[in-house]
Structure 1
Amino acid sequence: MSEPVIRYELIKEEKHTGARLGKLHTPHGTFDTPMYMPVGTLATVKGLSPEELKEMGAQVVLSNTYHLWLRPGDDLVAEAGGLHKFMNWDQGILTDSGGFQVFSLSDIRRIEEEGVHFRNHLNGSKLFLTPEKAIHIENNLGADMIMSFDECPPFYETHDYVEKSINRTTRWAERGLKAHQRPHDQALFGILQGAGYKDLRLQHARDMISLDFPGYSIGGLSVGESKEEMNEVLEYLTPVMPKDKPRYLMGVGSPDALIDGAIRGVDMFDCVLATRIARNGTTMTSTGRLVVKNAKYARDFRPLDEHCNCYTCRNYSRAYLRHLFKADEMFGLRLASIHNVHFLLNLMKQVRENIMNDSLLEFKEDFFERYGYNKENARAF
């Protein structure tokens, strides 16, 4: 029997939680889990070079199938030799299926058994995406890990609708598996849906696990539900997921959610949060959220975070960053983005260390206290 294209190696389970330390073996390297994956929607993590990402410890980056299909086109990326060569990134890449964007960006869409009709959000042209087409695009893009085409129903959708939706997503997953042309060098993950319904979440997990994907993604979370509701889903869902395969929580990346997800046995996370809020002058620090554009930092010559060793904090002050933002200088966006991405990568490094030491709950308590999560009406970032 041939070696699987990716392999999850369980190193250690934390004594007091469901957290697990592992290694993910892929065609482009072996990576430590749990991990945060910076998002490079259009084959670039906004404002950061591949060299900078490597220097700060990034292992896998995520790119978006829907956006790359529309611009520059998956055929062009294939002609360039695939995403790794196109974007000059020789480590891991994961692409989503495009399903979430179809359902979130397009106001005009029609779902049928064959696929989804919708309008291109760039120019309004009519498009049709099927499970087979999504896999074909992802095969062209050439990422190490690719996602099955799915529907992401709203968390509070009716039980009847969600039941129909997950059954259709399972049928789409079967079609995607048959259409997958590169199982030898691309691992196709199945996506588990079910909105906020425990019975449907568990049913869909059973159905998808029976298809024996090399990895599984948890979809339909961080879409407007409360933190408590998300954690509740993870608490009953991860224990039924295979221990010998990676577990990926899609679109989740605030500091509290990374820690809470790891505690509940999640291995992989992604989110655009780090660079998106950086472009508005919002940064994450060991003592909480810091909006560097605020007037009180005009003469503050300390780094963003005195406990951070990122490039930004080693070299620049809050006052300088505030000046750059007030002057609309691009360098300010870059420096804030470098800091935020480094912050989340370093946070996951600390999570891994505390899993090894069986001290993750103590780490969470200390981090939440310092960051301000224990305060009433605390923000997520």
Structure 2
Amino acid sequence: MISPFHILKKDLQTKARTGILYTQHGPVQTPVFMPVATQASVKALTSADLREVHAQCLLSNTYHLYLRPGTQTLKQLGGLHKFMKWDGSILTDSGGFQVYSLSQFRKISEEGVLFRSHHDGSKHLFTPENVIQFESEIGSDIWTMLDVCIHAKDPAKHDARAALEQTKRWAERAARAYQKTVPVQDITRTENGSYSVGNSLLFGIIQGAIFPDLRKEAALHMASLPTHGYCIGGLSLGETAEQMNESVLAVTDHLPESKPRYFMGLGTPVEILNCVERGVDMFDCVWPTRVARNGMVMTDEGRLNIKNACFRLDERPLDEHCDCFACRNYTRAYLSHLFRSGELASHRLLSMHNIRFLTRTMERVRAAITEGTFKSFKEDFIKKYQ
């Protein structure tokens, strides 16, 4: 299977690298942060806002879109891109984690996972095959496989082993379902070295909890399947930073370099840089918009809380180095007023700024890798945000 991923530069001191992932909706420069549009929307933001903050690729969720508005509805309306007026790339999570975390009832069998909707309690069945069908109906650029997720904090190894074995069997079925759904791999290399991609791509999800031997086994198994990239799932769920970093290395050490690696659900800046150092290329998280709705703002000088009294007369922008809409147009004093007054505009403006902070950070990460200064950049960055 042709990989539509081109590595541009490798860091000589770490496993960090820059690259371009080509999709139906254009190139995605990596390392990349993907804002989370779970239900076809990033909270408080429009698609125009996302273009403003230089988002390249969004993360949406099959579980949520399947339940509401329904994948057949999306297909009838021309697909998710047309539905939400977004012309960039979209990756859809298979929904395995949401089934695990949101459903009050779920029963895993060889066939798939039976669960009740968190909306109305109705019963539904996800299988490796129909999740591929649902993602096809959604029309996203990158599809992920159904997996079995367990809690990463202090799991029993026999439970992690059982979840991994089931995930491996489901992955094999999902790969076959993808090949039936997309029988012709329409990926060609152009004369200028880029790729033309005419179909959606397939990423497999690697499980194994916090056990390096299981993570290695999962990585080797997934590397044997015909996929375009890899997801690292089941982490950033309560385990220690040391456990997470060890688990990530156990995966990236055993995957081919020619395909992208995506850490699912990781979004704090320090954690992202730690994983870039270990060879991860793609990240998503609700963190920047969630903390924005609580008044936390990320800046080049560190964190600030816009609720604090010291900002009530502060006529500076949130960050003098930032080019986002909020920083170009408003003062800290005004944004502090909006937030303390409960005005919803504060959610939008602070969310735009925080996402732009992460996309700017990724731009600087890519530049540092290209220039051979990633390690020193990371050390300086961590001093501000630890």
TM-score of the two chains, using structure 1 as the length reference: 0.94
Comparing 168-177 with 294-303, which one deviates more in the overlay? 294-303
- Of residues 195, 203, 208 in structure 2, which corresponds to 1:194? 208
- Of residues 317, 332, 337 in structure 1, which corresponds to 2:346? 332
Q: Indicate if the aligned counterparts of 1:298 and 1:318 stay in contact, CA closer than 8 A.
A: yes
The C-alpha deviation readout for 1:302-328, integer Å capped at 9, x for no partner, is 211222221111111111111111221
Q: Indicate if the aligned counterparts of 1:139 and 1:182 stay in contact, CA closer than 8 A.
A: no
Partner of 1:131: 128
Partner of 1:177: 175
Letter in 2 for 1:159: K
Q: Distance in 2 between matches of 1:64 and 1:31?
A: 19
Q: Does 2:296 correspond to 1:299?
A: no
Partner of 1:256: 270
Comparing 304-313 with 358-367, which one deviates more in the overlay? 304-313
The C-alpha deviation readout for 1:27-66, integer Å capped at 9, x for no partner, is 1111211111111111111222222222322111111111
Letter in 1 for 2:315: F
Partner of 1:166: 164
Q: Structure 1 stretches of 5 or more lacking a match? A: 374-381
The C-alpha deviation readout for 1:263-305, integer Å capped at 9, x for no partner, is 1111111111111111121111122221112233222222112
Q: Indicate if the aligned counterparts of 2:175 and 2:226 stay in contact, CA closer than 8 A.
A: no
Q: Distance in 1 between matches of 2:340 and 2:124?
A: 41
Q: Indicate if the aligned counterparts of 1:154 and 1:223 stay in contact, CA closer than 8 A.
A: yes
Q: Distance in 2 between matches of 1:280 and 1:122?
A: 26
Alignment root-mean-square deviation, CA: 1.4
Q: Indicate if the aligned counterparts of 2:11 and 2:370 stay in contact, CA closer than 8 A.
A: yes
Letter in 1 for 2:352: I
Partner of 2:56: 59
Q: Distance in 2 between matches of 1:154 and 1:45?
A: 26
Partner of 2:303: 289
Letter in 2 for 1:27: Q
Q: Indicate if the aligned counterparts of 2:213 and 2:250 stay in contact, CA closer than 8 A.
A: no
TM-superposed CA distance for 1:99, in Å, is: 0.4
Q: Indicate if the aligned counterparts of 2:147 and 2:167 stay in contact, CA closer than 8 A.
A: yes
Letter in 2 for 1:61: L
Q: Distance in 2 between matches of 1:134 and 1:57?
A: 30
**Aligned partner of residue 107 in structure 2, secondary structure:** strand
TM-score of the two chains, using structure 2 as the length reference: 0.93
Letter in 1 for 2:163: S
Q: Distance in 2 between matches of 1:60 and 1:159?
A: 35
Letter in 2 for 1:81: G
- Of residues 121, 142, 146 in structure 2, which corresponds to 1:145? 142
Partner of 2:100: 103
- Of residues 1, 4, 7 in structure 2, which corresponds to 1:7? 4
TM-superposed CA distance for 1:101, in Å, is: 0.3
Superposition pairs of residues 354-365 of structure 1, within 5 angstroms: 354-365=368-379
May I ask how many residue pairs the two structures share in their alignment? 369
- Of residues 225, 232, 252 in structure 2, which corresponds to 1:218? 232
